[in-house]
Structure 1
Amino acid sequence: MRNIALLVSYDGAAYYGYQSQPGGNTVQNKLEEAILKLSGEEVRLTGSGRTDAGVHAQGQVVNFYTASSIPAERWALALNSRLPDDIVVLAAAEVPEAFHARRSAVRKTYRYAINSFRFPDVFARTRVFHHPAPLRFAAMREGLSHLLGEHDFSSFTSPLSTKPHHIRTLYEASFTVERTGPGGEASGRGVGYLTVTGNGFLYNMVRIIAGTILQVGEGKRPPSAMADILAARDRAEAGPTAVPHALTLWEVEYGPAWALDWRSPYI
Structure 2
Amino acid sequence: MPLFEPLDDTQRLTGRLALGVEYDGSAYCGWQRLKHAPSVQAEVEKALGKVAGQPVRVHCSGRTDSGVHATRQVVHFDAPVGRSQKAWVFGTNANLPRDIAIRWVEPVADDFHARFLALARRYRYVILNQPSRPVLERANATWCRDPLDVPAMHRAAQVLVGEHDFSSFRAAGCQSKSAWRHLHFIEVHRHGPLVVVDVQANAFLHHMIRNIVGALVDVGRGERDSDYLADLLAVKDRTLASVTAPGCGLHFVDSIYDACYPLPREPLGPSLLAFLGEWTGERELPDSPLVRFRRGRPVAGDAHHPSLPPGAALPATREPSDQE
In the superposition, the TM-score normalised over structure 2's length comes to 0.75
Structure 1 or 2: more strand by fraction = 1
Q: Which structure has the higher relative contact order (CA within 8 Å, separation 6+)?
A: 1
Number of residue pairs the alignment of both structures matches: 254
Give the superposition deviation at 1:40.
1.2
Aligned partner of 1:253 among 253, 256, 260: 256
Q: Deviations over 1:189-218 (max 9, x none)?
A: x21111111111011000000111111111
Give the share of equivalent positions with the same residue, in percent: 35
Distance between the aligned counterparts of 1:224 and 1:262, measured in 2? 38
1:145 aligns with 2:158: yes
Alignment gaps of 5+ in structure 2? 1-13, 268-324
Moved over 6 A (4+): none
Partner of 1:55: 68
Determine helix, strand or coil for the equivalent of 1:134: coil
Report the equivalent of 2:10.
none
Residues 36 and 43 of structure 1 are in contact (CA less than 8 Å); yes or no, is this contact kept in structure 2?
A: yes
Aligned-pair CA distance for 1:261: 4.2
Match of 2:51 among 32, 38, 59: 38
Correspondence for 1:16? 29
> Do residues 70 (structure 1) and 73 (structure 2) align?
no
Residue 241 (structure 1) aligned with residue 244 (structure 2): yes
Instruction: Report deviation, 1:73.
Output: 5.0
| Cα separation, partners in 2 of 1:262 and 1:116, compared to 1, 3 Å | closer
- The letter for the 2-side match of 1:216 is V
Deviation readout 1:8-64 (Å, 9 max, x if unpaired): 000111112111011462111110110111111212111111111111001101111
Match of 2:280 in 1: none
**Cα-to-partner distance string for 1:219-244 (whole Å, 9 max, x where unaligned):** 11111111111111111222111111
Give ranges in structure 1 of 5+ residues lacking alignment. Answer: 180-189
**SS of residue matched to 1:105:** coil
2:215 alignment partner AA:
T
Q: CA deviation at 1:2?
A: 0.9
CA distance in 2, matches of 1:80, 1:215: 41
1:89 aligns with 102
Quote the Cα distance in structure 2 between the aligned partners of 1:43 and 1:86: 20
Determine which of 195, 202, 216 is the counterpart of 1:213.
216
- SS of the aligned residue for 1:38 comes to helix
Q: Closer, same or farther in 2 for the Cα pair 1:261/1:73, shift >3 Å?
A: farther
- Using the alignment, how far apart are the partners of 2:84 and 2:237 within structure 1? 50
Give the direction of change, closer, same or farther, for the CA distance of 1:143–1:262 in structure 2 (3 Å limit). closer
Question: 2: CA distance between counterparts of 1:175 and 1:62?
Answer: 28
Distance 1:261 1:226 in 2: 36
1:97, CA displacement in angstroms?
1.3
Counterpart in 2 of 1:160?
A: 173
Deviations 1:101-136 (A, max 9, x none): 111100111111111110022000011111111111
The residue type equivalent to 2:233 in the other structure is L
User: Counterparts of 1:191-230 in structure 2 under 5 Å?
Assistant: 191-230=194-233
SS of alignment partner, residue 223 of structure 1 = coil
